[in-house]
Structure 1
């Protein structure tokens, strides 16, 4: 059955740049070699692309011919070379195609009859040519005898469409491929004009090209056709056919189907448009930089931030958008990412046309088709509001609103860090506890506003005259603390330096202060406690020592300095006795676990926190604050913590046997010292294995002091335990210092708002603000929140209204032995 005639719209022009023939080459076209040639005068020049048929015919490889075009000329007998050079020069002069019969010498010395057709590319000034070399067979006879028959037979073997027109533009030859395209026998088409097969509209677009070829002017163009509902793209050339005397005797038309490549181009363009749509839909800033650091693309969010259109951005580099330091840092980050193949992630402050902001940036290497890094695609997410919220939480939690100095919470955190470092390095340091003399009298006489002014000015002097290694804080009321680190490794020089610093501090107070219109002369009492020298000491204990020394200074008449001395050791001796008793108590089964329930917003129990209690045979119930610090300092926290873990896991097993308690979790406190122990993971695995407890019902409560040292080791341990099923809660959130820096890195499930914030949240705006901010921060990070120390319905209601879902405190139950707690919560059968 005949196919319907092809119809379509001619979209090409003689001036249009044709597609490269490279996508047709190497296809092993029978009897034909397609090529593109860059002319250089005579034999000079080079192949831009070349099919492999010539190698098959003459035994010369394509790489050899591409590297040295003269090898191709040597395949021609001398007479043929002269003929070809003459024909090419004439064609270049006329700016028209060339058609020529040639002979090529094979590697075995035999000759092959060939037919060359080539046409100059539009716009190349006849310096670039597309052509086809047809193999007409062995040169067994005179190459002119029967040439037309051999020539036409070769054309018939070609897989693309070839037609020959006479001077009246009637078809006098149609090869088999062209006949199949039109669905007609070739004999039926010969002698007729093309418009009978393609229609007058399309023929009207082609006829000027045919007429131009009759005048000796070749053309190369592309057109688009519809055939059986399918779009086809064809690459066409029309060249004059010349007689032996050089006159034009007709036109040769070649049409090669380019549809596969063009469909691939269209699919690629559609995919690129789809990707561009996704690119633009991202609200974050997205950009692409090449391997040299040059911007090549960006989305609208990036353009808006920098006030540049994409066209203005392309071609710019780091220095055009960043300050020199940021540009150098960003370039080094890119180079490292491209060298390692690993994505970079970090935070950067960027300055746009209208504003600056903090951005979380991810830069990922991009590979080209050969697997080589071609550049980086980056995504910059604006986290300015989040960072502002974090900073506000930090300010409210860690800094005194009146003086701007670190408050007690931050002081304790910094002091503990200083103590840990001094113990590790063997250095000495000192804590100076300053109490302003007669401050109450000033408040009573001049009012609290005057007292506030004095405190602010004292804080200012502490900051202005602080030396490296010193950190000042407001402890509360009229009390200030100065931490002095690195006073030396020997005790006597450290003592002398602490005495000198204390005298200097008293001198700072003696200068007049401007209170309103009055000049006020202040004085203070200072207590000094040394620390370090390889001995670990809790921060609160050191502050107690300094506070005792302050009381001695006041008792000595004020405006003086006193050091913690042996007379203050009575309490320490008592602690020593208690430590010995605790060591014995661990072996005598004197320790107990009490459980305090954790409930949801409806008062339903979710689980409990296991709290250790010590039933001393003579002292009775010893408060945790009396022996837990002792255990930390002495190292007894390790066996104590192991005992608590085993008891809690055994209770989980008992709960798992009852439907009423199977869902409950148990949280236990794990000290920093215990968690850092190298065998801690193995100990947990051993307890879970021997008891059979469900690890997913076990939660470890960690304090922020855990993050002071070896953060990567801590994160690794948490990751291993998390994989085992154990959950993590950050205890007393907001009372430490470093949590905001590492919070997003920790594999946490939960934050616990410290009871110091909950206690006064109904009366203290700062505490209320901290609670609200913490709840918002936890929500954004996907963390649960437990509020500790809930004692009143008012606190409970406030927390619920602001999004808190878990609660712990006396309002729901005090810590009790397991049986009493279960009875209180209605968990007994």
Structure 2
């Protein structure tokens, strides 16, 4: 580096050290002429648009003056949250330097901004007076304020992000009560900044009257505690529109920790609130009737249980199921059915107390929740029963929908519970069980839950599990009961299913067949009976003593109408080479009620394959006699209920004789079941029935015992004397 005035040896030593300093430094005289610069200064000069090869001898003040004229960017532009006095404009820089040089001030510090090709930089200029050879000079240093630059950049990014996110920024001076809003605050509150300036009173008036007290409470609590201000409230804009606001702020304190400012934000969360409300509605209300749904019902029951424990009171659930509502949909259409449900929901809502919860579980099932019936159990029962009766009365009033009148009825199950109740789902289930009891006893009534109902359900569930295990463990066994002809002896057998439970022992069909049907397990169990029966027929066909026997197997409507039933039976007939007329399927009259056309088609198909059909329990059902001529039957079976009192009841004799005569006219065989006495057999002979089944001849037994009985009975047939006819009063009827 070169020097004009400093040529001494000492100056050269200082210059060597001076050159290594990292900050841009220049030494100027009191007139502003540059005497010496270091390397960092020369690099710093790259920010200047003037390319100067040699700085020595240039007037520092003059260069600043040229720069300020050449670049408009040297004037102050306040950044967000930076006041105008934080940055000194370039003309102030010149004036301050000139004044420092003139007055020989010891040191000055000036901050200024500089724009280099669109990028703004911030610097601090320091000027310190020094003496060299008894003459005053000034050491001028320029340091870039990187921290301030980053802060300003961060503030700029925040301002851009806030604008993009539509966040309103506000600054409240707690001493002067002055409030500063940015543009988005004005937009959120629907206020024109040119017409109305932000003020605390403006904000206070904008907050919804129902929310202002809570908002002010949150505001003052934040100031008093120094904690962040967080609040949600609604505002009413000038056009009357109501918007939801989320407000947040930070309290700024002075050196004595006294709050002086609050700087915060407002966000319009109206759409968020609407979405939350919609989500809540979907989660807690039935979309058709707008009634509370199961979830909201459970929430309210849960709250009530807490009060029940404290108040020792009783609550009640009323489970309502509309009777035969399916017919409303079937006869009309589902849209009409929906309108009926809506009208029904409105009616029961209007007829009940406001504190009750009316919930729709789904379909035509509803629940009424009485939160506090009474502290006395008897009074609680009385009040609940009164509510239920009132409901039944209102439900039966006609509903008029689209010029049509609908008269409904309902079955209502009730459970009463107090402080000991805990499981809400169990309570709902209890009311539902009571409702099903009403259904079973004729509908359109009420019933209270009885713990025995639950005990039966538990037992039933256990039985279902046991039945599944029974199939796996092959616990079912076929028993055979002989069917006897007065002239031919044993002519066949009926298969009767028995269940040998590992703990309960022998279980009879009435105790498990209904549950097999309900669970669908009757299909695999029934198929196994058919399989074993056909295997047995194949064995008998190869034995001279048994080849004449037929085998009757009971088939339910569920089995007969199952899609694979016909093919399965045909497969068995083929696999085990069953001769025509050997396999007899026994059906009940209830099958004819299920689906008569499908039933007839299936029976005809199997009859063409040599399968016989017997109509079991004839006369006990409600089927029409006209179906008899369409069914491919080969036998009618007189039910044991007519045989039981045959010797004492003339009506049973008349009915039995009618069945025999009907079978004869239709060219059908007839057999009587439940024959337990010789006298009953004699009466049956007199009315023309010669085939029997019952304990008088043979109790159901395992196959070995049945075959043993058959051999013995048939071998002894011709040694017996002919039956003597009993005297029967209505033989001629």
**Structure 2 length-normalised TM:** 0.42
TM-score, normalization by structure 1: 0.37
Larger radius of gyration: 2
Structure number with greater CO (CA < 8 Å, separation at least 6) is 1
